Copies of this chain bind each other. A is one copy, B any other.
Amino acid sequence: MDASKPTIPVTLIPGDGIGPEVVTAARRIVEATGAQIGWEEQRAGAAVFKEGMPSGVPQETIESIGRTRVALKGPLETPVGFGEKSANVTLRKLFETYGNIRPVRTLPGVPTAFSDRNIDLVVVRENVEDLYAGIEYMQTPSVAQALKLISVKGSEKISRFGFEYARSEGRTKVACATKANIMKLSEGTMKRAFEKVALDYPDIESWHVIVDNAAHQLVKRPEQFEVLVTTNMNGDILSDLTSALVGGLGFAPSANIGNEVAIFEAVHGSAPKYAGKDVINPTAMILSAVMMLRYLGLFDEAAAIEHAVFVTLESGVLTGDVLGYDRGTPTSTYADAIIGNLGQRTEAWTIRDAKKLVLPALDPAPDYVRPTERNVVGLDVFVESPLSAAELGASLMELTHDTRLSLKMVSSRGTKVFPPTGAMTETGDHFRCRFIIKETPGDLPDEDVNQLLARISRRHRWMHIEKLQEFDGELGFTRDQGEN
């Protein structure tokens, strides 16, 4: 220990299955660089779930991370029958680590379909919003619904993060992948946020790509991407795709970064069948530790490890995931080889010059967007009914004709089915009934909403209501297939 250098506290979570083995490998290599880390070892995962804690994360662990603000963690398992939520997701959400960073690059000696290509890209995935919130309802006994929530602020924050991350690594291109062509409000929010933020980074080339095309392009010509910013669910799929381009999850590091806390972890799971066998590839965890060192400002130590990993791979020292588990280098031997190669440099493979990442600072006000004018112009009432669309439509018109709202249409899974369109749309037991205020312009008070609901309740079973709003003259809702 060098008493003139400060010791940096880091929470260390070995995790489940092969977690302790890969975390030990990473820790030994970090220590061998001389980085002065004060590890606080903490628990989370399977054993904690089994003790009856439904989050899988004990209070001491939460407090440790709250103190150190940095964690290096192994994979956590949610044992079947214990807890509804993944402990990995819980940690990300508890500490609002909104930026998930998943870098991949072509590695020496690792054979893939893309070995001869120069892939070096980073997926920057929004990490706390979107369908991952897991907010779900059975609307009827036959129809499930999940809510996809995307905020303007969350989208601007991750977009800005993407550009800042690019700058911190000297990258010059940032793309954004969304499905804004189909989901104009939710995915469109991310697209618009990205395009707005891009204006502040004129030195960086930026463009938008539709997410299915992004998946296509990542396979066809992955070299075109440097940084790819995207929403949570898209990013989940795209980042797992990219890790396959360079040799699989054994080589896929990640970071979850928020304003207060950063958590570094391999992407892979706990692989229980390999646990304790000293055969697993620890590269993903080692490269996660490299990301951590850069986050902590220990750039030389980070570069030293990255060089040593490349020199080791170049020399043909490879683990079982690449060579076959009967022939691979053991985990501990592989870590020893990297430690032995510390101080060596590879010429063929560049290591990026990294700078400290600047985290975005956004307006902390809760009402991030403030319209000057707003109105409630109608109501969508979701109804469970065994009736046909025509019968339901007629009944609703009769029930509500003397209210301040009129029935505009009934739809089934986004397609208008009443008034009839002549199409072959199948209906089930789940209908959305759109009511629009009669006087325009108008703003519907809650008393009228309640009156409408009371009328509908006389004969029908509703389970879900959405107010139709207008903000500064812009519709806050989409039209349906077949709606004019």
Contacts and interface: CB of A to CB of B under 8 A. Distances in A.
A128 B244 contact: no
Interface in A178-236: 179, 181-189, 211-213, 215-220, 233-234, 236
Interface stretch (A91-99, A271-279, A325-333): A91-99
Contacts of A424: 66, 94-96, 258, 260-261
B138 A471 contact: yes
A94 B144 contact: no
Best-surrounded residue of A89, A112, A182, A184 (most CB of chain B within 10 A):
A182
A5 interface: no
A95 B463 contact: no
Interface string A418-455: 00011111111110100000000000001001100110
A141 B94 contact: no
B144 A147 contact: no
A152 to B, nearest CB: 5
Taking the full assembly, how many copies of this chain does it contain? 2
Contact of A146 (B185, B240, B244): B185
A216 B233 contact: no
Contacts of A60: none
A457 B153 CA distance: 26
A153 B148 contact: no
Interface string A153-189: 1000000000000000000000000010111111111
Interface in A359-383: 365-371, 374, 380
A428 B212 contact: no
Contacts of A453: 446, 449-450, 453
Given A366-B385, A450-B457, 19 more contacts: A84-B478, A84-B479, A85-B479, A89-B481, A94-B421, A113-B219, A128-B415, A140-B367, A141-B371, A142-B369, A144-B149, A146-B148, A212-B237, A216-B240, A216-B241, A220-B248, A237-B237, A366-B387, A368-B428
The 3 A-B pairs of least Cβ separation, nearest first, read A133-B414, A138-B476, A219-B244
